[in-house]
Amino acid sequence: MQHILVVDDDADITTLLAQYLGRFGFTVHTASDGESMRARLNSHPIDLVVLDLMLPGADGLALTRELRARSSRLPIIMLTARGNAYDRVLGLEMGADDYMSKPFEPRELVARIQTVLRRSAAGATAAPQAAEAEVVHFDGWSLYRMERHLVSPEGVVIPLSNAEFRLLCTFLGMPRRIFSRDQLMEQARGRAMDAFERSIDLLVSRLRQKLSDDPREPRLIKTVRGAGYLFNVRSVQGHVGWQR
């Protein structure tokens, strides 16, 4: 039984699709805006999202970006009355897998849902190890190397700057080793870094904030007086390699 989430503020459409998709064996959940969409995603194992472009509050394009930050593999079909070519291309560039214009034929939507789900399943089984190899797990946290963001133990997505990403990879590559400020600056150096020693301290402070690490009593990034910093993590699972 596959779960479809229909996000549309038109109650007639959500009711129609819930009834129609149910005939084809889908379990359908509905939402009218971004807030209710997040609630459904957190409470149900959603396999595909049918997302209207014009919604109250955050529009469909913003929600598509949010869904892609949450999962790179969750299929998304955009459903909207704005059917011009620009909106179609923009929606696909934001991460949508397919696009349908209103008014639409429900049977065509079913066919597109089935096609996207088959394509998604084929992609998931073709290279699951390669996808997992891009994720590094440590103490309940997950670092997605391709996307360059963290996912907290509570499931919150936290973007990283290039310098923060390089610094974290340096720590994860050799946990529980003391790094001097000079060593960290060499590894984390980017266009935003300057030649002053204090810049690495500011970068460490920003990374601590991203990791919810109390600066007064840090648990993960510990300051070793007179020596530098130590990443006090219990275990690291996954390949940490990165390219400059």
55-86 pLDDT, tens digit per residue, is 888 888 889 888 988 887 899 998 877 656 66
What is the three-state SS of 153-175?
Answer: CCCCEEECCHHHHHHHHHHHHCC
- Average pLDDT for 148-175: 88
Q: Cβ distance 156 to 186 under 8 Å?
A: no
Which tokens hold the place of 112? 């597109």
Q: Range(s) for CATH 1.10.10.10 in the chain?
A: 135-237
Q: Cβ distance 40 to 31 under 8 Å?
A: yes
Q: Cβ distance 116 to 2 under 8 Å?
A: no
188 pLDDT higher than 70: no
243 pLDDT higher than 60: no
Q: Cβ distance 117 to 21 under 8 Å?
A: no
Q: Where are the beta strands (DSSP E) in 10-126?
A: 27-31, 48-52, 76-80, 98-101
CATH number, domain 3-126, options 3.50.4.10, 3.40.50.2300, 3.40.50.12780, 3.30.70.100: 3.40.50.2300
Query: What confidence score (pLDDT) does residue 85 get?
Result: 61
Which tokens hold the place of 199? 């810049």
Tens of pLDDT, residues 1-44: 899 999 999 999 999 999 999 999 999 999 999 999 999 999 99
Query: What confidence score (pLDDT) does residue 125 get?
Result: 53
Q: Give dist(CA 75, CA 116) in Å, integer.
A: 7
Q: Range(s) for CATH 3.40.50.2300 in the chain?
A: 3-126
- Average pLDDT for 179-199: 62
Query: What confidence score (pLDDT) does residue 145 get?
Result: 87
Three-class DSSP category at 40: helix
Burial class (CB in 10 A: 0-12, 13-18, 19+), 14: buried
CA neighbor of 139 nearest in space, from 207, 238, 14, 16: 238
Q: Which residue has the higher pLDDT, 244 or 218?
A: 218
Which residues lie across from 229 on neighbouring strands? 179, 223
- Average pLDDT for 181-188: 76
88 pLDDT higher than 70: no
CATH number, domain 135-237, options 3.40.50.720, 1.10.4190.10, 3.40.50.300, 1.10.10.10: 1.10.10.10
| b/e 149-186 (16+ beta carbons within 10 angstroms → b) | bbbeeeeebbebbebbbbbbbbbbbebeeebebeebbe
Out of 28-42, 61-75, 125-139, 163-177, pick the least confident.
125-139
Tens of pLDDT, residues 227-238: 999 999 888 888
122 pLDDT higher than 80: no
Query: What confidence score (pLDDT) does residue 190 get?
Result: 46
CA-to-CA separations, 224 to 22, 127, 204, 209, in angstroms, rounded: 60, 42, 13, 18
Give the confidence band of 197 by pLDDT, cuts at 50, 70, 90: very low
On average, the pLDDT of the chain sits at 84
Which tokens hold the place of 140? 């309940």
| Contacts of 153 by beta carbon, 8 Å cutoff, 6+ apart | 140, 141
